[in-house]
Amino acid sequence: MSDIAIRVENISKRYRIGLAQSRPDTLRDLLMANIRRVGNLFRRGDNGDSDNLSHIWALKGVSFEVARGQVLGIVGRNGAGKSTLLKILSRVTDPTEGFGEIHGRVGSLLEVGTGFHPELSGRENIYLNGAILGMRREEIDRKFDEIVDFSEVEKFIDTPVKRYSSGMYLRLAFAVAAHLEPEILVVDEVLAVGDAEFQRKCLGKMSDVAQEGRTVLFVSHNMSAIQRLTQETIVLDQGKIVMRAPTTEAVDFYLNMGLTKQGERFWEPEERSDAKSRFVPVALRVLNPAGEVVDTVKAAEGFAIELEYNLKVPISGLRVGLYMMTTRGEYVFTSFDTDEREKFEDFTNRDAGHYISRCFIPPNLMNEGRYVLGVNASVYRIQRFFQDDKALTFTVDATGAPGMQWPEQRLGPVRPKLNWQIELKEK
Amino acid sequence: MESTRPKSNNLPVITLKPSKGWLAVDFKELWRYRELVFFLTWRDIKVRYKQAVLGIGWAILQPLLTVLIFTVIFGILLETPSQDLPYPLFALSALLPWQLFATALQRSSVSLVGNANLITKIYFPRLAIPLSTVFAALVDFGVSLVVLFGVMAYYRYWPTWNTLWLVPIVLLTILTALAVGLWFSALNVQYRDIQHMVPFIIQVWMYASPIVYPIETIPAGIWRVLYGLNPMVGVIQGFRWALLGGSPPDLTMLISVGVVLVLFVSGLYYFRRMEKTFADIV
């Protein structure tokens, strides 16, 4: 009994659709809804079941146990219920159904810098943020120097954090959070920010925490971070645990979940540039070598990107372009479907019809990470028919990439396999 | 709902389960989070006067300038009776508790929404947020109280034993602000209409309190009793009496206290009931 840190049984969480994201109701809506409800009283056949349509289950019947000192990974696509689960475990929100028991204090790192105030100095924010994260004042006093040291912002400790660079801000925020000492630490995507150097530092701190024998729940989209830090991982999908297994196995299962609906972007009729438009985008997809639409591709295997579109009328001089960017907005490359002379001659004048422009990204080109695809259709210097700078994001996984014998993150968006030669000139 | 009980291995055990019905306030837990309340209060004060040249001086200037306006309009132009007190003193002695109340109410009403980023990320007793805004207003009040004593000295009014009554009266003031603030802040999480209504409510409330005019303006009898349902009537009347003498608090004070208690207890329960949904709907 005493070696269990977390036990949850049949935890479910129901949200009203739109409630979490959109503007809350106004009194007027409430009045209108009440009037409608009163009206419904006189209508037969309305048994109130329609109410269920406006709810979704973010989590449904989730049960698991975590042993004390275990570092457990949680993976799943956006909307799979990861954040909801962490929010329930850290008591930010109540489960709608179910029961759970947590042995020990929970510290949550749901987002670094929560509660930071831009007007306050670094010093003041350390105390404020520490208190918000549940540290006692004397505890902060004791660790103050250590925190400042870790953050590397000593010189600016009495400057308002609004004058900090984003890097300094993140370092300070992570430094405070990293010095929490709860028995159970819940970590959500903290490694998704900052530069590579800083990410490495965070990762190092996380594994220290794990080695100290504390229980850690670690959520990330970064599969290599999950693999480095955890031995066992839970895969969540549509609010349910679909697998719990040793991390390598679980990650593999997650990356290959065939039912993926991501890796694909459709444009709804109203999103297309306009009704009279001559160029009508239909979908943008990321495909693995087997031709399946996927959210995560393996750098070592190469992948394809395709844009499906309709031309309402013939267009001469059309070029369809693809931009790849990092999630921090740096361009990796720009490429057009008629870059090659041969394609330029054959396709620069296109008849009306239904088209797919597909390009292949060679194996061992991209580094691991999350990337953003932008698309554009234009006639050079004449007219732009369509542009979407953030059409789709996808993940590149480094499994099998060159240099994986060293489990570190590589700088830069490309990770090419280069033909190295090593010569022994003298001995 | 959570309960925390010590285990044999000294680790607190937290239970997670759906919360149902009306919950009492967990004062023990609130006490454990007192440092958070302190730091949130401190943040509010600190941030408010950052990058203002006059800084905390505004807490002095605001009541002085308001009294100046009141004195010119109501004292000099309209010749409003002022219980035989110099009009500036008459107005200031009411303005102080009123500003404490208005500031605390206004800030606490929007406090939960203003701290949405905390509420959706971290667990702590949500009461800490409106509480800290009320405490922060108390600091402003403390500063302007010095001004009031200065003005009293100028008009040769000196503190008496009655002045000690200020303590329970100030307590009643913040209790009133908190009582209404709890209702408004919790309602505002779901219905943002509240934050648009609050400035008007405060304005109407001010003219429904004996600040620019004496309580005697309201006809005695049933009207006075109804008037007393406004808890700020008792507060202001008591505050003036404690400092400057004149008509002592009467039955209206008792009505005021009763109204505040009802509002406060119901506000606490409503807040606790809604607390668990804040993170989902804010």
Q: Could you read off the pLDDT of B238-252 as tens digits, one per residue?
A: 999 998 887 777 777
B186, with CB counted inside 10 A (0-12, 13-18, 19+), is buried
Cα angle B1, B40, A214; round to 5: 55
Is residue B34 within 8 Å of A136, Cβ to Cβ? no
**B11 within some domain:** no
CATH 3.20.10.10 fits A4-255, yes or no: no
**B178 within some domain:** yes
Q: At what angle do helices A166-178 and A196-211 cross, to 10 degrees?
A: 0
**B56 within some domain:** yes
Residue of B8, B16, B193 to mutate, testing the A interface (most A Cβ within 10 Å of its Cβ): B16
Residues 111-140 of B with CB under 8 A from A: 117-124
Burial A54-72 (b: 16+ CB within 10 A, else e): eebbbbbebebebebebbb
SS3 A280: strand
Answer yes or no: is pLDDT of A51 > 50.
no
Closest CA to A366 of A332, A403, A327, A409: A332
Burial B187-207 (b: 16+ CB within 10 A, else e): bbbbbbbbbebbeebbeebbe
Closest CA to A135 of B38, B1, B126, B278: B38
**B88 within some domain:** yes
Q: Look at the block and give the residue holding tokens 């005021």.
A: B256
The per-residue pLDDT for range A81-109, each reduced to its tens digit, is 888 898 899 888 889 999 999 998 888 77
The DSSP secondary structure of B208-256, one letter per residue, reads: TSTTSS-GGGSPTTHHHHHHHTSHHHHHHHHHHHHHH-SSPP-HHHHHH
Instruction: Report the C-alpha gap between A166 and A58 in whole angstroms.
Output: 32
The per-residue pLDDT for range A259-299, each reduced to its tens digit, is 445 778 887 665 555 545 788 888 899 999 988 888 889 88
Kindly report the length of chain B: 282
**B207 within some domain:** yes
Q: Which chain B residues are closer than 8 Å to A98 by Cβ? A: 16-18
Q: Which chain A residues are closer than 8 Å to B186 by Cβ? A: none
The dihedral through the CA atoms of A161, A162, A168, A174 has a sign that is positive
**B145 within some domain:** yes
Among chain A residues, CA nearest to B36? A131
**B269 within some domain:** yes
Closest CB to B118: pick one of A87, A90, A132.
A132
What is the residue range of B115's domain?
23-281
Secondary structure element (H or E) that encloses residue A60, with its range? strand A55-67
Q: How far is A330 from chain B (nearest CA, A)?
A: 28
The domain limits of chain A are 4-255, 264-397
**B222 within some domain:** yes
Q: Which chain B residues are closer than 8 Å to A163 by Cβ? A: none
For chain A, how long is the longest CA-to-CA vector? Answer: 98
Domain count for chain B: 1
Closest CB to A114: pick one of B12, B122, B276.
B122
Answer yes or no: is pLDDT of A23 > 50.
no
Q: Which chain B residues are closer than 8 Å to A26 by Cβ? A: 191-193
Q: Which CATH superfamily is domain A264-397 in?
A: abc- transporter (atp binding component) like domain (2.70.50.60)
CB contact under 8 A, B15 and A99: yes
Q: Which chain A residues are closer than 8 Å to B36 by Cβ? A: 131-132
Among chain A residues, CA nearest to B113? A24
Q: Which chain B residues are closer than 8 Å to A102 by Cβ? A: 13-16
pLDDT grade for A22, boundaries at 50, 70 and 90: very low
Q: What are the residues whose beta carbons fall under 8 Å from the beta carbon of A163, sequence distance 6 or more? A: A156
The dihedral through the CA atoms of A275, A277, A283, A284 has a sign that is negative
- pTM, full prediction: 0.70
Give pLDDT < 70 ranges for chain B.
1-10, 20-22
SS3 A177: helix
Residue of A94, A139, A162, A183 to mutate, testing the B interface (most B Cβ within 10 Å of its Cβ): A94
Instruction: Report the C-alpha gap between B78 and B87 in whole angstroms.
Output: 12
